[in-house]
Chains A and B, each alone.
Chain A
Amino acid sequence: MNSVGEACTELKREYDQCFNRWFAEKFLKGDRSGDPCTDSFRKYQRCVQKAIRDKDIPIDGVDFMGPSKDKPES
């Protein structure tokens, strides 16, 4: 599956592989030991965020369901 930013597809694949493995073998089995994918995610994200800006895709806030860890308490 491609990324929205064509240049990001390889970074996406690396991250997806890491995530899918963590999801199936750790997260779903109740293993809360660290996230091995933060590095690959960061690289992938830098690319994607740039592609979104370049393509002018109207992503505003991402938090539209339930409370967000980033929202201030009100």
Chain B
Amino acid sequence: MKIWSTEHVFSYPWETVIKAAMRKYPNPMNPNVVGVDVLDRSLDEEGRLHSHRLLSTEWGLPSIVRAILGTSHTQTYVKEHSIVDPEEKKMELCSTNITLTNLISVDERLLYRPHPDNPEVTVLTQEAIITVKGVSLSSYLEGMMARRMSANARKGWDAIEWIIQNSERENVPLCDLY
């Protein structure tokens, strides 16, 4: 089991960052994410928005690799639960893979909050628990996964920045539907 965590600061206020986080895909930094669907969405009694999403990722695994891994899917799937609390200004996301679970488990948690010392910027805390199962090189592979996650985290931050910069123009609706 490997625990990995990181922290990053975005130089934008919390509302701007989470609007981008909600619309993170597609973006040029994460080309492997090929499908995103909302499975459920609701408000709880405290006014927090819960969303359950399914993400599909395509790694282009050759069929022989898929045969070895014992998967008939060409894509790997992740389920994600997020909670947005607009009063407390917290957005929390938890995700876990739902395919290849006999081999590996990656549980990730992200938390976006305004910076405690500067409310104009946003802190993202990100952590993951990686468990490789039933393989004797598990701690080596887990270490490799953790390094991969650091590289991916950087891409994720760049993705959020890209979404923010490419969306700054679009917040004025052309006509009011309601």
Q: Which residues of A contact B (CB under 8 A)?
A: 1-5, 8, 12, 15-16, 19-21, 23-25, 27-28, 30, 32, 36, 41, 44-45, 48, 52, 55, 57-59, 62-66, 69
Residues of B within 8 A of A12 (CB): 37
**Which parts of B23-52 form the interface with A (CB within 8 Å)?**
23, 25-26, 33-42, 44, 47, 49, 52
B49 lies within 8 A of A27 (CB): yes
Known: A3-B37, A27-B86, A65-B94. A21 touches B173 (CB 8 A): yes
Known: A30-B86, A64-B94. A59 touches B26 (CB 8 A): no
Q: Which residues of B contact A (CB under 8 A)?
A: 15, 18-19, 22-23, 25-26, 33-42, 44, 47, 49, 52, 54, 56, 73, 77, 79, 81, 83-84, 86, 94, 96, 98-99, 171, 173, 177-178
Q: What 5 pairs between A and B have smallest CB-CB spacing?
A: A62-B52, A4-B35, A65-B81, A1-B26, A1-B25
B37 lies within 8 A of A66 (CB): no
B99 lies within 8 A of A52 (CB): no
Contact residues of B: prevailing secondary structure: strand
Known: A24-B171, A36-B178, A66-B83. A1 touches B35 (CB 8 A): yes
Taking CB as reference atom, which chain B residue is nearest A3?
B37
B35 lies within 8 A of A2 (CB): yes
Residues of A within 8 A of B38 (CB): 15, 19, 41, 44
How many contacts A-B (CB < 8 Å)?
Answer: 84
Question: CB < 8 Å: which of A19, A36, A66 contacts B177?
Answer: A36
A4 lies within 8 A of B86 (CB): no
B19 lies within 8 A of A24 (CB): yes
A57 lies within 8 A of B81 (CB): no
Chain A: minimal CB distance from B160 (Å) = 15
**How far, in whole Å, are A23 and B18 apart by their CA atoms in the complex?**
10
